[in-house]
Amino acid sequence: MRDLGVGFGYLLQGQRWMARHGRSYGFGLLPGLVTLVLYAAALTSLALWGEDAVAWATPFADGWPGPWSGLFRGFLTAVLFALGLLLAVVTFTAVTLLVGQPFYENLSAKVDRDVSPDGTAPEPDLPLWHELWISARDGLRIVVRAAVWGVLLFALGFLPFVGQTAVPVIGFFVTGFFLTEELAGVALQRRGIDLRPRLALLRSRRTLVWGFGTPLGLAFLVPFVAVLLMPGAVAGATLLARDLLGEETTGGGRGTGTGHETVTPHGSGTVTGAGRPGPAGPSAPADGTGPAA
């Protein structure tokens, strides 16, 4: 359970890092604001015309007697909006990272250089267009996985008692896992680690991932809070990625006035991705086998 606290600590450290780098923070808000406006427009449209869309999709209910047609369509409208809201929460991070890809790559590299004992950061050996393509492809794959979990949890929500107690808790942990994957993916992709090895790496330290991503997922339920926390979340996820890979990190970062003690994270071994050797990290099944998200 110690990893839960460590993961939450990385979330706080990321926010503190951004607080010390105000200029970077200001630029980091722009992608989130653009994405927030787009999502707000989409959800508003769904709220205004969702009922009409449901009526068009259910012509067989036109002749139902009494209030049954209205109740049935009202239920479907509520389900449609709930699924849209869930999809918005799950995909907000992926879309924001894609919109702000060049900035977040640069931000993650700055964090790496700041906390690395030798002041260096891994750099991608692919052109920008290829990095954008990989981010979009992997983001879509994560959204599909998250959508499958969302549909499953929604169906389980109809179970008596369990649906109202355990299922929401599981949902927050699943959301936290995928949020962490998307955010840590910025640093891990720069190291040449592909999606399947990334997922295996995250599964090897689930409690660490949940400690970081679950409270962040709760905060992201408030849209504007998600925008404010996004730059710091990328910074914190970079620190978490270094821990997962067993990379040494100077305590507090370089030049922060908090000391330069060296922290050696857990783990040893090698993780590979995209056909290239990756940095040292905890051993995990390369095929991504194992339970979960």
* pLDDT of 65 higher than 90: no
Q: What percent of the chain has pLDDT over 70?
A: 81
Predicted TM-score of the model (pTM): 0.71
Encoded amino acid at 82, one letter: A
Name which of 72, 67, 41, 42 is nearest 54 in CA terms.
72
Arithmetic mean of pLDDT, 234-246? 94
73-82: per-residue pLDDT in tens?
888 888 788 7
Is 122 a domain residue? yes
Query: What does the pLDDT read at residue 233?
Result: 94
Query: What does the pLDDT read at residue 130?
Result: 66
Arithmetic mean of pLDDT, 202-228? 89
**Domains: count for the chain:** 1
Is 285 a domain residue? no
Query: What does the pLDDT read at residue 61?
Result: 81
Is 228 a domain residue? yes
CB atoms near residue 112 (< 10 Å): 23
Is 100 a domain residue? yes
Name which of 202, 173, 194 is nearest 290 in CA terms.
202
Helices (H), 157-270: 162-190, 195-203, 206-219, 223-244
Contact yes or no for 60/73 (Cβ under 8 A): no
Is 137 a domain residue? yes
How is 71-93 classified by DSSP, letter by letter?
Answer: HHHHHHHHHHHHHHHHHHHHHHH
* pLDDT of 265 higher than 70: no
Show the tokens assigned to 118.
Answer: 């030798």
Domain that holds residue 273: 2-280
Query: What does the pLDDT read at residue 144?
Result: 81
Is 49 a domain residue? yes
* pLDDT of 173 higher than 60: yes
Is 136 a domain residue? yes
Show the tokens assigned to 174.
Answer: 């699943």
Arithmetic mean of pLDDT, 208-228? 88
Name which of 210, 184, 220, 180 is nearest 85 in CA terms.
220
Most confident region among 44-53, 122-131, 261-270 by mean pLDDT? 44-53
Q: Give how far Cα 171 sits from Cα of 85, 146, 155, 223, Å.
A: 14, 10, 12, 18
* More confident of the two residues 90 and 23: 23
Q: Give how far Cα 66 sits from Cα of 53, 62, 69, 149, 283, Å.
A: 21, 11, 7, 36, 62
Query: What does the pLDDT read at residue 256?
Result: 37
What single DSSP character describes residue 285?
A: -
Name which of 131, 144, 278, 259 is nearest 200 in CA terms.
278
Is 292 a domain residue? no
